[in-house]
Amino acid sequence: MVLSGLLHFFISQSVFVVQTVAYVPKYEPQRFERNPVLDASCIGFSSLGITLALGTGCIFVLYLLFVGARFGPTVRKVRANEPCPMPLVSTCSAAISANCHAHPDDVDCIFLPMQWGYVAGTNGATGG
């Protein structure tokens, strides 16, 4: 969040609008009069802001790649003797719902870590 905030701040400081209001000297000393014909507007930029935005963006991308590689999902190889590998459910609401409902005989499940797997039912059938 800090990197995202810094990136947005540096981008907002990189490009800006410059408006000038022209005054021309009158014939008397220390007197000026406004001349709207000479007013101008243009786009300005800050090379320091652009450099800091690029650097912060690069650090942000490298940080996301590091976090994704370090803490992202790992692919587990299925062994031949393993009867039921862990299913990948992604956004399947039926599988998520099945994972959220505990087995009726399991009274301590709220105190233990959750893991995917198959549980033998009371009648010998397997459930998800």
Residue pLDDT, tens place only, 10-56: 999 999 999 999 988 888 777 888 889 999 999 999 999 999 999 99
Q: Do residues 119 and 103 touch, judged by C-beta distance below 8 A?
A: yes
- 57 and 99 housed in the same domain: no
**Res 83: pLDDT:** 59
- Per-residue DSSP letter, 118: -
- 103 and 60 housed in the same domain: no
Does residue 9 fall inside a structural domain?
yes
Containing 97, the helix (H) or strand (E) segment is helix 93-100
d(CA 31, CA 26): 6
- 66 and 114 housed in the same domain: no
The total of structural domains in the chain comes to 2
**Res 118: pLDDT:** 57
Does residue 26 fall inside a structural domain?
yes
- 40 and 97 housed in the same domain: no
Asked whether the whole model's pTM tops 0.75, one would answer no
d(CA 110, CA 128): 17
d(CA 99, CA 37): 72
d(CA 11, CA 51): 10
- Print the domain residue range for 35: 2-71
d(CA 122, CA 85): 22
Does residue 78 fall inside a structural domain?
no
- 53 and 101 housed in the same domain: no
Give tens-digit pLDDT for 54-105.
999 999 999 999 988 887 666 555 565 655 555 566 677 777 777 677 777 7
Does residue 98 fall inside a structural domain?
yes
